Amino acid sequence: MTNRLAEQTSPYLLQHAENPVDWHAWGPEALGIAKSRDVPIFLSIGYSACHWCHVMAHESFEDEGIASVLNANFVSIKVDREERPDIDDIYQKACMKATGQGGWPLSAFLLPDQRPFHIGTYYPPRDMHGRPGFGSLARQMAQAWKEQRASVEQGAAKFMGDLDAGTSTEAAGDADVVGRASSMLMSMADVTNGGFGHAPKFPNASCLSFLLRDSVRGSRHSGLHALRSLKKMAAGGIFDHVGGGFHRYSTDSRWFVPHFEKMMYDNALLPVVYAEAYALTGDAQYRRTAERTIDFALGEMRGVEGGFYSALDADSDGEEGAYYVWTAGEVRGILGDDADMFCVYYDVTQGGNWEAKTILCNNVPASALAFRYNISEEAAIQRLDACLDKLREVRARRTRPGLDDKSITSWNAMMISALVAVGTATHNQAYIDAAAGCAEFVRTRMTAGGDSEALIRSRRGSAAGTIPGYLEDYAWYADALADLFCATGKPGLLEHADALCARILGRFYDSDGGFYMTDESSHEGLILRPRSVYDLSVPSGGAVAARALWRIGHLVGNESYIGAARATMSARAAEAMQNPFAFGSILCTIFADTHGPTEITLLDGGGDSDMAGYVGSRFIPESITVRINDRDRLDKLHRYPFFAGKELVPGSQVAYVCKNSVCSAPITTRNVLESALKD
């Protein structure tokens, strides 16, 4: 027996297609039924790799008794938060207002007109510890609707009043926004374990990136904390030492025990920060983590058309983390003579370090291991890597976690930027080529009606989604095209990014220094039109739009783009100083605007100089750096002021550095370039 969700393409919705709950997908049919039956809506929001979504499904949505209560008294609607971030945003904010926290699964009871009157996250199936079980709650909500409708209406009105409160756009005046935000963020820092606050702990890439920028400004403690955090995460169980890539978050403060799902966005956002740390320090540990994360994505998350999938589940064989953990006996049987060294380095003990098994984590410096076994550090790392290869071969024979094989436009765009960042920092052209392949996938497969500027939100295989792209899809893709253009100098990439920026301003900008998530002309109207303000699981679409408009505005010479970006920065600055944890992404752009831009054009006509490699290996966060090795491309770009008067010289490399609307003379030696960048 299946319900209506069997007709959907979302892997998350399909996971619930055999529930006894009479699920509907969100849409006019379900909403119309609620109104015609005059019954409330039970809305459940989650995603395919969510462990606690699976738990609630098994406990409650597969329970015949609970299903009968829902079917008799509600229209039950399932939403994949990855496909419908607008719906998720509205009800997550309502949950935060009501309970002080959000998350998934999100469980909301709504009036037939979609206004919430009770909301929470995970509920156990039965009453326990003074907390109502989901079955009891559903019966209470049904009874309240029938017998206390006025009270229910009052509750909905209260929710709407809270949601309509809006966000602050207070101006920061002449305040040192970067300095104050950095100080506030450091007051939240866990200086022992890295990151911010206590458990659970998420790898907030934007805030770490902001602290790296602040260190360039001279704040030593900011940089040290960011670098410490990156090393702690890479050593902990949140990083998959065998296969590469990061799990979603740590349940403890030490980055030790993760929730084992792997999200595409984490594995696109984090390599960028590790590449920045490598460029800043030259420390190969950061490079290694960036490369291993990118290699995981390329090896396990990329489809045949060059695009990337969404997530790997936390569970396999019905057990969370089963794919990733080991016993000492398994490790010793696989590794033989190398087992002792490996077990010391990766904390493998007979009793295990988590539920009688071992999550691989590293708290021993490779230098100490080399000293203990009287070998060089390089030899120790080589032996450990050979051990990881053997474990990877064995692990591949286990039941793999479920794959959410839909592709999301914004997450693919994030991966384009990650591939460019790591490829540039490590001089790996294969990564740049993979970024170009992904950009082509988005251009041809993630658009509607043959219009390369009309993005869709997602697709799965041959089934293109019908949901139009959101602000974050347009903003991330425009920004990614700018990254790819800067790495290759291909004019078509800049032209496409320019066109996307025009669409962002025309359809999502609210002319008051902010952005809406949705386009009124293509998205359905909900109980309110959500704005994109705060960084949550990923940086806010509004912050990314500001960054894209700022950079692309400088590249194409469009002052309206730059003005809109600066208006957004100004509108968020005061709030960012008070709550930098939610504004890390916009703070990075505020830094760039405050200290730059430094415009660097590298024209490679051949020769022995490696100025492009030098710049690519440096951390210059306020820079807009473009590399061009083709005269025809440069000729097509001369119409933009950024490239006016700059000429490629066959047989040599030439660089131009422009600051404060003043450009250097052509630079032909690395020493002069170094001097120009220090001034």
Amino acid 363: pLDDT: 83
pLDDT band for position 612 (cuts 50, 70, 90): confident
Q: What is the pLDDT of residues 271-329, one digit of tens each?
A: 999 999 999 999 999 999 999 999 999 999 999 999 999 999 999 988 999 999 999 99
User: To the nearest whole percent, how much of the chain has pLDDT over 70?
Assistant: 99
| DSSP structure class, residue 400 | P
- HSE at residue 6, side-chain half, CA atoms within 13 A, is 9
pLDDT at 671 > cutoff 70: yes
pLDDT at 128 > cutoff 90: no
Residue spans of the domains in the chain: they are 4-163, 178-197+209-215+266-309+405-581, 324-397, 598-678
Amino acid 167: pLDDT: 60
Q: Once rounded to an integer, what is the mean pLDDT over residues 52-77?
A: 97
Token reading at 507 = 């359809």
Token reading at 672 = 């002069």
Alpha-carbon distances of 332 from 225, 276, 336, 349, rounded to whole Å = 36, 37, 6, 10
Amino acid 657: pLDDT: 95
Top-level class of domain 178-197+209-215+266-309+405-581? mainly alpha
pLDDT band for position 361 (cuts 50, 70, 90): very high
Token reading at 236 = 């902990």
Q: What is the pLDDT of residues 320-353, one digit of tens each?
A: 999 999 999 999 999 999 999 999 999 999 999 9
Q: What is the pLDDT of residues 644-655, one digit of tens each?
A: 989 998 999 999
* Planar angle of CA 416, 421, 424, nearest 5 degrees: 120
- Compute and round to an integer the Cα radius of gyration of the chain: 26
Listed as own residue / partner, the contacts of 459-465 with beta carbons closer than 8 Å and 24 or more positions apart are 459/406, 459/407, 460/9, 460/10, 460/11, 460/405, 460/406, 460/407, 461/405, 463/9, 465/9, 465/83, 465/406
Terminal alpha carbon distance of the chain: 71
Interatomic CA distance for residues 515 and 527, integer angstroms: 17
Closest CA to 217 of 183, 247, 188: 183
Token reading at 598 = 């430094």
Q: Is the pTM higher than 0.75?
A: yes
Q: Once rounded to an integer, what is the mean pLDDT over residues 527-553?
A: 96
Amino acid 678: pLDDT: 83
Amino acid 169: pLDDT: 62
Q: What is the pLDDT of residues 427-436, one digit of tens each?
A: 999 999 999 9
Per-residue HEC secondary structure of 583-611 comes to CHHHHHHHHHHHHCCEEEEEEECCCCCCH
pLDDT at 197 > cutoff 70: yes
* H helices present in 509-610, as ranges: 541-556, 559-578, 584-595
Q: What is the pLDDT of residues 415-474, one digit of tens each?
A: 999 999 999 999 999 999 999 999 999 999 999 988 888 999 999 988 888 899 999 999
Element (H, E) at 295: helix 284-300
- CATH-assigned architecture of domain 4-163: 3-Layer(aba) Sandwich (3.40)
pLDDT at 674 > cutoff 70: yes
**Is there a contact between 251 and 257 (Cβ–Cβ < 8 Å)?**
yes
451 bridge partner residues: 448
Amino acid 46: pLDDT: 97
pLDDT at 168 > cutoff 90: no
pLDDT at 173 > cutoff 90: no
Token reading at 285 = 């540990």
pLDDT at 661 > cutoff 90: no
Element (H, E) at 117: strand 116-120
Interatomic CA distance for residues 193 and 562, integer angstroms: 39
Amino acid 226: pLDDT: 98
pLDDT band for position 487 (cuts 50, 70, 90): very high
**Is there a contact between 638 and 601 (Cβ–Cβ < 8 Å)?**
no
Average pLDDT of the chain is 94
Interatomic CA distance for residues 586 and 535, integer angstroms: 9
Q: Once rounded to an integer, what is the mean pLDDT over residues 575-593?
A: 96
Q: Once rounded to an integer, what is the mean pLDDT over residues 63-72?
A: 97
